[in-house]
Amino acid sequence: MDHQIKKRWLVVTVTVIAWFAVILQLYLMLLNTKNPIGETLLRFFSYYTILTNLLVALYGTLLLVMPSGRLGSLLRQPGTATAIAVYITIVGLVYNLVLRRLWSPEGWQWLVDELLHVGVPLLFILYWLVGVSKSALRWKQIPGWLTYPAVYAICIFLRGAQSGFYPYPFIDVTVLGYPRALLNSIVLTGGFLLVSAVFVGLGRRLSGTERSV
């Protein structure tokens, strides 16, 4: 099969699965919530997992329907795909290393969890490996990739201070207090930097560009 066809099918697959998982998770959350719909939606979009899978879904959709032009050019840049690969890899790592043992979902919820935290991350990493040009990756791009998780963290802490709701136990100020929650956030920042460095280093090695920039 032609490389471009394989690449397109990978994008189609990960995009469809990401949309399916996000929409099904929203349906399940609305079905089981005891909160008003507005609050439920706010909580739904408070999860880094949801936002990042949605980012993958939007990236794939736009890449398929708007492959040319300024936006298409931006989406095809190695830095864009690599940043998203970092974000969705963090989704998989944090869930499987930290959160998986905290609950045991069943039925449709189990399926959604596996798709959001395993299926989509692995498929997007596979897309990155075989479908993204890596020769333009540079170490200096990494700080800019931290903008998304930094803005997310600020919004979560501000929202939590107002509502008392924190989507993840390791940043739950009501239980841990600000010093511990902020320390955990700093540790996560280190995780983002490490994963980013792995992707850039691997990308440069795979592309044969080892020169320093």
Domain with 197, as residue range(s), is 3-207
Residue 151 CA to residue 55 CA, distance in Å, equals 15
For the chain, 213 residues long, give each residue's pLDDT as a single digit of tens: 577 777 889 999 999 999 999 999 999 999 999 999 999 999 999 999 999 999 999 999 999 988 777 777 788 889 999 999 999 999 999 999 999 999 899 999 999 999 999 999 999 999 999 989 898 899 999 999 999 999 999 999 999 999 999 999 999 999 999 999 999 999 999 999 999 999 999 999 998 754 444
Query: Could you tell me if residue 80 is inside a domain?
Result: yes
Distance CA 121, CA 53 (A): 8
Split into its structural domains, the chain has a count of 1
Q: Is residue 156 part of a domain?
A: yes
Phi-psi region of 107 (alpha: psi -120 to 50; beta: other; left: phi over 0): left
Is residue 213, in this structure, part of any structural domain at all?
no
Considering the domain boundaries, does residue 212 fall inside one?
no
Asked if 88 and 72 count as a contact pair (C-beta separation under 8 A), the reply is no
**What's the pLDDT tens digit per position in 47-63?**
999 999 999 999 999 99
Report the amino acid identity of residue 39: E
